[in-house]
Amino acid sequence: MVPSFLLVDGNNIIHAWPDLLELHQQRRGLAHTELERRLLDYQDQTGTRVVLVFDGKGPKINEERDPNGMQVIYTSGSKSADDVIERLALKYAGKYEITVATNDRLEQDLVISAGGFAMNADQLYDLVERAEREMQRLIEKRRRS
């Protein structure tokens, strides 16, 4: 079985999900943290490896690995999240099942042409929500047992 990866354009998703946009407007880090939490839960529920990429401003790319395996990348000021996601998708689409989550149509087309898959922010929201509902269902079922 080929491992699957979900590459997420973090800022694009934050600006597309109303609840995250509201958090972002209060304080930027709140939205980042909440998106990371939701995607980590999704990764734990599904086994899909998540790589979350944010536009950064520093002199170099910074990468963090959650102890549970989720990778978070902050790009350098000279690279955008799109640049990093496209490079990863082009490099790994032949080896792994790669899906990119963004509303950027050009980025979606590039990933699809490389052999990957693409989804928009609404589709990602639905996917994450379904995983959360399934987790809640399993927890409730376990409590009743």
List residues bridging with 33 in a β-sheet: none
Per-residue pLDDT reduced to its tens digit, 131-143? 999 988 988 888 8
Q: 53-78 b/e with 16+ CB inside 10 Å = b?
A: bbbbeeeeeeeeeeeeebbbbbbbee
CATH number of the domain at 88, please: 3.40.50
Per-residue pLDDT reduced to its tens digit, 90-143? 999 889 999 999 999 999 999 999 999 999 999 999 999 999 999 889 888 888
> How is the beta sheet containing 97-101 ordered, strand by strand?
62-65, 71-76, 49-58, 4-9, 97-101, 117-119
Over range 1-13, report the average pLDDT: 91
Tokens found for residue 24: 């972002």
Please give the residue range of the domain that contains residue 107: 4-144
Count the domains in the chain. Answer: 1
Per-residue pLDDT reduced to its tens digit, 22-32? 999 999 789 99
